[in-house]
C-alpha cells in the first residue's frame, strides 16, 4: 500500500516509493530507496522536499498512521505542503557552495584540457576520468545544487559549464534507464567532450546573441566534425565516444548534421545525448535570453516533431521528476515513436 506522508513523518526503515515534486529537489540519486540510515533522514529533511509517498509493503509506516494520508486525498496534502518546513536554511547554502567549488575546479580543468587539445598536445584521459568521477559524485550527492549552479552560464564559461551540465544529465538519465556501466561511462565522457570542436569557432560567433547568418550558421555547424577530428588520434578513447561527438546534432527525421543520419541509424546513447544537450541549452540562464522552465522545455521540445525520439523524450522528463499529468499532456503532442 502506498501512503503519502509529510517530511516530518519520515523515519528510518521506511521505503520511499517516490518524493513529491521535482527530482532536482531530492538529495537522493534514485526516485525509490530505503531510508536505511539516520544520516539519510537528515539529508532528506534538510532538502526542499516537503512530502513523500512510501510503500508500506517494503518498509515501516509513520508513527501516527492517522496523520498520514492514503494516496488520493489531495486537499490535506495541499495543506501540509503549504505549512512551513523545518528545513535548515544553511544546508542548502552549504550544498550550493560545494557545488560551486566543484564547478570552479572542473571548469578550470576543462579549460586547460580543451586548450591543450586545441594546441595539438593530445587529450589527458586521466583528467577526463577524474572530471567525470567528480561530476558523478556531485550529481549523486547534490543534484539540485549542481544543476542550479550550472544553469548560470557566463559568455566565457558557457561551453565548460554546458559540458558539465550535459555530463550530469546523461549520467543520471542513463542510470535511470538502467544502461550498463560501460555505456554510461562512455556517454559521460562524450557529454564532456562533445563540443570540444567549438574551440575552433571564433568566440564572437559563439557568444553572438542574435540570429546567425547563413554563413555563420554553416561555420557553427562544423563543430561536431571538429570535435571528432580533434579526438581522432586519441587511442584511449573508445570509438563510441568519438561517434557520439560527431553525431550529437543529428535528428531522428534525418534533418540534422553533419551526416543526416535518421531513425535506427541513431543509437540509443546518441538519442540520450541529443536530448540532454538541448535541454541544458534551453534551460540555461544567459545574459541575452530568458531560460525556459522545465515545464516549458517539456511543452516545446515535445512539439519539435522529428528532432528527438519521442518516447525517450518523455522518459527523460520523467527521470528529472516532471509530474505524470504534465507528461501525459506532452505525450498527446508527440507522434509515434521513430524507428
Name the residue with the smallest CB distance to Fe ion.
195
Give whichever of 195 and 250 is closer to Fe ion, judged by the CB atom: 195
Give whichever of 41 and 220 is closer to Fe ion, judged by the CB atom: 220
Site string for Fe ion, 169-198 (x = CB under 5 A): --------------------------x---
Report, in Å, the least distance between residue 162 CB and Fe ion: 9
Report, in Å, the least distance between residue 144 CB and Fe ion: 25
In terms of Cα–Cα distance, which of 246, 259, 260, 300 is closest to 278? 300
Report, in Å, the least distance between residue 44 CB and Fe ion: 37
Give whichever of 282 and 323 is closer to Fe ion, judged by the CB atom: 282
Coil, strand or helix at 111: helix
Give whichever of 246 and 322 is closer to Fe ion, judged by the CB atom: 246
User: 171 to each of 140, 324, 332, how far by Cα in Å?
Assistant: 10, 22, 28
Q: 70 near 62, Cβ under 8 Å?
A: no
Quote the CA–CA distance of 179 and 272 in Å, as a whole number: 11
Q: 175 near 33, Cβ under 8 Å?
A: no
Q: CB within 8 A of 308, min separation 6: which ones? A: 251, 252, 271, 274, 275, 278, 301
Report, in Å, the least distance between residue 120 CB and Fe ion: 21
The label of the residue with cell 496523520 reads 67
Give whichever of 53 and 191 is closer to Fe ion, judged by the CB atom: 191
Report, in Å, the least distance between residue 248 CB and Fe ion: 6
Assign 3-class secondary structure to 122-177: CCCHHHHHHHHHHHHHHHHHCHHHHHHHHHECCCCCHHHHHHHHHHHHHHHHHHHC
Residue 250, interface with Fe ion (CB under 5 A)? no
Binding-site size for Fe ion (CB under 5 A) equals 1
Q: 216 near 205, Cβ under 8 Å?
A: yes
Give whichever of 95 and 195 is closer to Fe ion, judged by the CB atom: 195
Report, in Å, the least distance between residue 135 CB and Fe ion: 18
Residue 75 has, within 13 A of its CA and on its CB side, a CA count of 0
Binding site for Fe ion (CB under 5 A): 195
Amino acid at each position: 500500500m502506498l501512503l503519502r506522508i509529510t517530511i516530518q513523518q519520515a523515519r528510518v526503515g521506511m521505503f520511499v516509493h517516490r518524493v513529491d515534486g521535482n527530482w532536482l529537489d531530492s538529495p537522493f540519486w534514485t526516485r525509490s530507496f530505503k531510508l536505511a540510515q539516520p544520516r539519510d533522514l537528515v539529508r532528506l529533511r534538510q532538502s526542499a522536499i516537503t512530502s513523500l509517498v512510501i510503500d508500506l509493503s517494503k518498509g515501516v509506516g509513520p508513527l501516527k498512521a492517522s496523520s498520514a494520508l492514503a494516496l488520493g486525498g489531495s486537499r490535506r496534502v495541499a495543506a501540509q505542503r503549504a505549512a512551513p518546513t523545518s528545513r535548515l536554511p544553511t544546508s542548502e547554502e552549504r550544498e550550493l557552495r560545494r557545488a560551486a567549488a566543484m564547478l570552479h575546479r572542473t571548469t578550470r580543468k576543462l579549460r586547460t584540457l580543451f586548450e591543450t587539445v586545441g594546441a595539438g598536445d593530445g587529450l589527458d584521459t586521466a583528467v577526463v576520468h577524474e572530471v567525470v568521477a567528480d561530476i558523478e559524485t556531485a550529481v549523486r550527492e547534490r543534484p539540485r545544487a549542481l544543476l542550479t549552479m550550472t544553469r548560470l552560464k557566463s559568455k566565457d564559461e558557457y561551453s565548460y559549464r554546458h559540458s558539465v551540465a550535459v555530463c550530469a544529465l546523461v549520467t543520471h538519465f542513463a542510470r535511470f534507464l538502467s544502461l550498463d556501466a560501460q555505456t554510461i561511462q562512455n556517454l559521460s565522457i562524450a557529454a564532456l567532450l562533445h563540443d570540444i570542436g567549438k574551440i575552433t569557432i571564433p568566440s564572437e560567433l559563439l557568444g553572438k546573441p542574435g540570429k546567425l547568418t547563413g554563413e555563420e550558421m554553416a561555420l557553427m555547424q562544423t563543430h561536431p566534425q571538429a570535435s571528432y577530428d580533434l579526438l581522432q588520434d586519441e587511442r584511449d578513447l573508445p570509438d563510441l565516444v568519438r561517434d557520439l561527438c560527431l553525431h550529437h546534432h543529428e535528428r531522428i527525421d534525418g534533418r540534422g548534421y553533419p551526416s543526416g543520419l535518421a531513425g535506427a541509424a541513431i543509437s540509443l546513447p546518441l538519442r540520450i545525448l541529443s536530448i540532454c544537450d538541448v535541454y541544458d541549452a534551453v534551460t540555461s540562464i544567459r545574459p541575452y535570453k530568458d531560460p525556459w522552465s522545465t515545464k516549458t522545455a517539456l511543452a516545446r521540445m515535445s512539439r519539435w516533431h522529428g528532432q528527438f525520439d519521442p518516447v525517450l523524450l518523455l522518459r527523460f522528463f520523467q527521470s528529472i521528476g516532471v509530474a505524470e499529468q504534465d507528461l501525459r499532456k506532452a505525450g498527446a503532442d508527440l507522434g509515434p515513436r521513430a524507428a
